[in-house]
Chains A and B, each alone.
Chain A
Amino acid sequence: MPDAPSGMVTLTIDGHEVAVPKGTTLLEAAKRVGKDVPHYCWHPGLSAPAQCRMCLVEVEGAPKPQPACVTTVMEGQVVKTESPQALSNREGVLEFYLVNHPLDCPICDMSGECLLQDYVHAEGRKHGRSHEPKRVFGRDDFGGDVLFYGDRCVMCTRCVRFMSEVERDDRLTVVERGNRSVIDTFFDEGLEGTHFHGNIVDICPVGALVSKEFLHKARAWDLSHEPSVCASCSQGCNVELHVRDNLVQRVKPRENIEVNAWWMCDYGRHDYEWMNEGDRIEAPLVRDAGGATRALGWKEALHALLERAGGVSNRSVRAVASARASNEDLGALAELVGALGGGETVFRSRRAADEIVLKGFPKLARRRDLAPNLQGAELLGMQRVGSDDATGGLEGVRDHDGIVVVLGDALDDQDASFGGKAGLFVYLGAHAGAAARSAHFVLPVTTHAEQEGTFTNHEGRVQRFWPALRAPGMARPAWLVLGALVAELTDGSVSRSASAAFARLSDAVFAFAGMSYDSLGSRGAVARVPAGASSGSSGAGA
């Protein structure tokens, strides 16, 4: 028998032989042969107390069943996760959980995505044997966004350990002991003032910790999960948008160990209502000389736009972009500016007073830049202007007498005379504010939640997001609209997909060279930054 490569251990799990690195736990090794051993208290981002006793597996030669989450592999071990003993252990532990559990699934938010439901349904007893009165803890408001239903709690202590080990703010504890033990805060102190407490609702395996905002809002099985990237700051946490009735109902983090691990901050988590906002620009609008607007089809509108552009004497462009637009949108804007006659593009972006770092996973912080694609804009040569509350900075644009193009900036701080002197003023956005009143063309574009695309985060990581909502009315992605204009102006071809739009970028921009949607996958990759590039960009090598 040849020697195993050093550092690898071979063992048998449920009859399947598998080789894993030394130090791997039985739980992780089982995953590699496709076995998900049921567990509660273990979580990849937290310590492993092995106290729920759900993951006990039979190990040949061991006198007692072993907890798979902390037992490390040994050469030649024979492990059974489905033996009669293992099954009877799990059935027994589940029965113990249900002795005092209120079985209030009909009114519990977790129903449909609850690990107690799932495990009991799969392996629990059909009937409980307890005839005794249940102990009652009731509902407790932990402050922040969190409600605690003590009766449903399985005492896995993931929440306590998250606050202690990851947020590093010991706000939760177990009080009392034995079956009187319950999770609690320090009396009224609660979770106020913490910034990542929403994560404890994610990691709670049952409906003990629930979000107040999401309380009784939607049933888990009615929600579709769409992978996206958080647009609240430049960290670029990978998220899932959970959608029902074409509305985002909640946001959950998506695992990416390079960016946010399993976590996200409370600000981003609750910053989605704007994606559901109505009152959208429904169709391309053209304004006539008298100031009235009428709706046109896209082809007519773009045709009229190009005609007007052709008749403008000063073809220099002043563009206002947005750090919330995707790389593809911004790339197309840059191309359009060049095709029209060249000019400057600026953007404003909100900036917070400080960073809020997740101490237990410091790669993740609520960054100061409160927009997802500031890096993308800068890599395309766009310049940030204005103050930290995203006002001002547009003095060079508002009275320009050439071509003014505004993409995605609501111009809330500008008045109705903005762009009034322009030969051509095109406004592309989701909502039309007062300052768009002078625009000759108001074109509806999609938000990032309604299109496919990429953002570049604070460290230069380019990450894909997918559409979660259907675009309203005739809204289209900005890269498509602007790309169509560019194609007409240059006699070129139009990108027909976000992937193709990104390919144009990676061809044209050094930072994105060599990247493609395939290569980015669902985890992203870091852009190249030339030596001496502007501050804020980082990430050597793709």
Chain B
Amino acid sequence: MAYPYVSDREARVISKHFGDPMQRRVDTYVERGGYGALKKAFAVAPAEVIDVVKASGLRGRGGAGFPTGVKWSFMPKEPTRPHYLICNADESEPGTFKDRELMRWDPHQLIEGCLISAYAIRAKHVYIYCRGEFFETNQVLARAVEDAYAKGYVGMDILCSGNDIDVTVHQGAGAYICGEETGLMNSLEGRRGLPRLKPPFPAAVGAFGMPSTINNVETLSAVPHILSNGGEWYRQWGSEKSPGTKLFCVSGHVRRPGNYELPLGFPLSELIDDVCGGMREGRTLKAVIPGGSSVPIIDAAEARACKLDYEGCAAVGTMLGCASVIVMDDSADIVKQVRRMVDFYAHESCGQCTPCREGSAWTAQILRRIEDGHGTEEDLDTLMEITQQMVGTTICVLSDSVAAPVQSAIKKFRGDFLARMQQPAGVA
């Protein structure tokens, strides 16, 4: 299957069945070995499951990169109150489109991952919080959950193991901030999706006040494979600190955009030139955002030097984030794109914290004025200072995400901004 582009450099672990509609059917899934990992997990103690995942070094694939096994180990060992596993399927980071594909091509992989994870953290209920816009995807997922219930893989006494785990698919209503784990919990509880203070952490006080763990779709999709093959197996890819494979979402000015599952540490330049077929006819690379719009922009030179794992991206002054690679060639209008990204953050800011609420909108206003040709150099200094006031001063990091593209763009593409001050928008 060639969905839609496949590269032979890929290591397709969780995206193996992209493009195969049969994979959605529970019978097909089981025939291909599905729900075998679940059986394996039930055969050992939850603590052992956590150890396997810890050994694999799997890190959260939603952007934060926190070691998953360690996160699970924060949950109380002896439940005195209900525990919840929440799957964060509120994919809204600009440039990211992997979770949607995972859910619509391999929903049972996700369900199995949720079940194993719930077992490990002693949760009896799984909420899959899906983005509201994903109507079609959610239907696929909901149908898969229904089939899994019918076959006894979800619900009471799963596979006669004595374990009861329920799954509920919960649909969001359009708010990027509900992808933030504490904002998600508030939204799940039927509130405005405002992020919460940490501490207390979700493992102590989570959804409905109960100990909860929130994991990304991609993270949970990897879990059945890790259980089936062992933690060490997962380490055959990637590096010591960043093991395993990652779905890279490539978009923008490349010939073959799409999702590619590659070992962590894959060189960015090879991703662009080899896997994605390089730049469009007659164009040269100008800038890349390697981890979704919340991470600093890197220029072409830094992109050539960048290895796509957590440490590699940090080394060139950016972050891996959720590995959404947005590629810009020399036709890209950096000023406009930065303004558009900040417009996005201003639109999505929850409004709790003053620096973000006022700062994101103010930053957007200034950038719009610069884009329209009425900016000054002083504005650039102001932007640097006010976005710096937005870093580290708020409850969640949406505020920091405004600073990342603005500050990196002004530092590395100052010329673009200055040129705009002599020429209004519309003139290349």
Q: Cβ of A64: which chain B residues have Cβ within 8 Å of it? A: 392-393
Asked if A93 and B392 sit within 8 Å, CB to CB, the answer is no
3 closest cross-chain pairs (CB), A and B = A92-B389, A181-B351, A96-B358
Q: Cβ of B358: which chain A residues have Cβ within 8 Å of it? A: 96-97, 99-100, 179
In the bound assembly, the distance between CA atoms of A99 and B360 in angstroms comes to 11
- For residue A505, CB closer than 8 A to chain B, the reply is no
Residue among B177, B354, B360, B392 making CB contact with A52, cutoff 8 Å: B354
- For residue B62, CB closer than 8 A to chain A, the reply is no
Asked if A132 and B365 sit within 8 Å, CB to CB, the answer is yes
19 more A-B residue pairs beyond the given contacts A92-B393, A97-B354, with a C-beta to C-beta distance below 8 A: A52-B354, A53-B353, A63-B392, A65-B392, A89-B393, A93-B354, A93-B355, A96-B355, A96-B389, A129-B382, A155-B357, A174-B192, A174-B351, A177-B192, A178-B347, A178-B350, A178-B357, A179-B357, A179-B360
- For residue B366, CB closer than 8 A to chain A, the reply is yes
Asked if A93 and B362 sit within 8 Å, CB to CB, the answer is no
Residue among A93, A96, A177 making CB contact with B349, cutoff 8 Å: A177
Residue among B197, B347, B349 making CB contact with A70, cutoff 8 Å: B197
- For residue A130, CB closer than 8 A to chain B, the reply is yes
**Given known contacts A53-B355, A130-B362, A178 and B394 CB-to-CB distance under 8 angstroms:** no
- For residue A501, CB closer than 8 A to chain B, the reply is no
| Contact size range, B | 20 to 34
Instruction: State how many angstroms separate the Cβ of B288 from the closest Cβ of chain A.
Output: 28
- For residue A468, CB closer than 8 A to chain B, the reply is no
- For residue A439, CB closer than 8 A to chain B, the reply is no
- For residue A342, CB closer than 8 A to chain B, the reply is no
- For residue A497, CB closer than 8 A to chain B, the reply is no
Q: Cβ of A83: which chain B residues have Cβ within 8 Å of it? A: none
Q: Cβ of B395: which chain A residues have Cβ within 8 Å of it? A: 50-51
Asked if A179 and B349 sit within 8 Å, CB to CB, the answer is yes
In the bound assembly, the distance between CA atoms of A70 and B198 in angstroms comes to 10
In the bound assembly, the distance between CA atoms of A181 and B177 in angstroms comes to 15
- For residue A172, CB closer than 8 A to chain B, the reply is no
What is A's interface to B at a CB cutoff of 8 Å? 49-54, 56, 63-65, 67, 70, 88-89, 92-93, 95-97, 99-100, 129-132, 135, 154-155, 174, 176-181
Asked if A92 and B350 sit within 8 Å, CB to CB, the answer is no
In the bound assembly, the distance between CA atoms of A49 and B196 in angstroms comes to 8
In the bound assembly, the distance between CA atoms of A52 and B348 in angstroms comes to 18
- Our count of residue pairs bridging A and B at CB distance below 8 angstroms stands at 94
Asked if B349 and A178 sit within 8 Å, CB to CB, the answer is yes
| Nearest chain B residue, comparing its CB with the CB of A135 | B361
Q: Cβ of A51: which chain B residues have Cβ within 8 Å of it? A: 352-354, 395
Instruction: State how many angstroms separate the Cβ of A206 from the closest Cβ of chain B.
Output: 13
- For residue B116, CB closer than 8 A to chain A, the reply is no
| Nearest chain B residue, comparing its CB with the CB of A157 | B352
Asked if A179 and B346 sit within 8 Å, CB to CB, the answer is yes
- For residue B304, CB closer than 8 A to chain A, the reply is no
Asked if B360 and A178 sit within 8 Å, CB to CB, the answer is yes
Residue among A50, A53, A96, A181 making CB contact with B362, cutoff 8 Å: A96
In the bound assembly, the distance between CA atoms of A63 and B365 in angstroms comes to 30
Asked if A50 and B197 sit within 8 Å, CB to CB, the answer is yes
| Nearest chain A residue, comparing its CB with the CB of B349 | A178
Q: Cβ of B197: which chain A residues have Cβ within 8 Å of it? A: 49-50, 67, 70
- For residue B359, CB closer than 8 A to chain A, the reply is yes
Q: Cβ of A181: which chain B residues have Cβ within 8 Å of it? A: 351, 357
Q: Cβ of A56: which chain B residues have Cβ within 8 Å of it? A: 393
Q: Cβ of B328: which chain A residues have Cβ within 8 Å of it? A: none
Q: Cβ of A174: which chain B residues have Cβ within 8 Å of it? A: 192, 351
Asked if B351 and A96 sit within 8 Å, CB to CB, the answer is no
Q: Cβ of B177: which chain A residues have Cβ within 8 Å of it? A: 177
Q: Cβ of B362: which chain A residues have Cβ within 8 Å of it? A: 96, 99, 130, 132
Q: Cβ of A180: which chain B residues have Cβ within 8 Å of it? A: 351
Which residues 241-256 in B have Cβ within 8 Å of A in the complex? none
Instruction: State how many angstroms separate the Cβ of A62 from the closest Cβ of chain B.
Output: 10
In the bound assembly, the distance between CA atoms of A176 and B192 in angstroms comes to 10
In the bound assembly, the distance between CA atoms of A178 and B349 in angstroms comes to 5
Asked if A178 and B354 sit within 8 Å, CB to CB, the answer is no
Instruction: State how many angstroms separate the Cβ of A27 from the closest Cβ of chain B.
Output: 14
Instruction: State how many angstroms separate the Cβ of A436 from the closest Cβ of chain B.
Output: 61
Q: Cβ of A96: which chain B residues have Cβ within 8 Å of it? A: 354-355, 357-359, 362, 386, 389
Residue among B175, B382, B386, B394 making CB contact with A53, cutoff 8 Å: B394
Instruction: State how many angstroms separate the Cβ of B355 from the closest Cβ of chain A.
Output: 6
In the bound assembly, the distance between CA atoms of A64 and B361 in angstroms comes to 23
- For residue B25, CB closer than 8 A to chain A, the reply is no
Q: Cβ of A95: which chain B residues have Cβ within 8 Å of it? A: 386, 389
Of B350, B357, B359, chain A has the most CB atoms within 10 Å of the CB of: B357
Residue among B353, B366, B394 making CB contact with A132, cutoff 8 Å: B366
Instruction: State how many angstroms separate the Cβ of A71 from the closest Cβ of chain B.
Output: 9
- For residue B170, CB closer than 8 A to chain A, the reply is no
Q: Cβ of B39: which chain A residues have Cβ within 8 Å of it? A: none
In the bound assembly, the distance between CA atoms of A51 and B196 in angstroms comes to 10
Instruction: State how many angstroms separate the Cβ of A502 from the closest Cβ of chain B.
Output: 49
Q: Cβ of A70: which chain B residues have Cβ within 8 Å of it? A: 197
Of B354, B357, B395, chain A has the most CB atoms within 10 Å of the CB of: B354
Instruction: State how many angstroms separate the Cβ of B364 from the closest Cβ of chain A.
Output: 9
Instruction: State how many angstroms separate the Cβ of A498 from the closest Cβ of chain B.
Output: 48
**Given known contacts A132-B362, A177-B192, A178-B357, A49 and B393 CB-to-CB distance under 8 angstroms:** no
In the bound assembly, the distance between CA atoms of A112 and B35 in angstroms comes to 69
Contact with A along B180-192 (1 / 0, CB 8 A): 0000000000001
- For residue B369, CB closer than 8 A to chain A, the reply is yes
In the bound assembly, the distance between CA atoms of A403 and B37 in angstroms comes to 100
**Given known contacts A132-B365, A177-B350, A178-B361, A92 and B355 CB-to-CB distance under 8 angstroms:** yes
- CB pairs A–B below 8 angstroms (28 shown): A50-B395, A51-B395, A52-B353, A53-B354, A64-B392, A64-B393, A65-B393, A67-B197, A88-B389, A92-B389, A93-B389, A93-B393, A95-B389, A96-B386, A97-B358, A99-B358, A99-B361, A99-B362, A132-B362, A132-B369, A135-B361, A155-B354, A174-B192, A176-B351, A178-B349, A178-B351, A178-B357, A179-B358
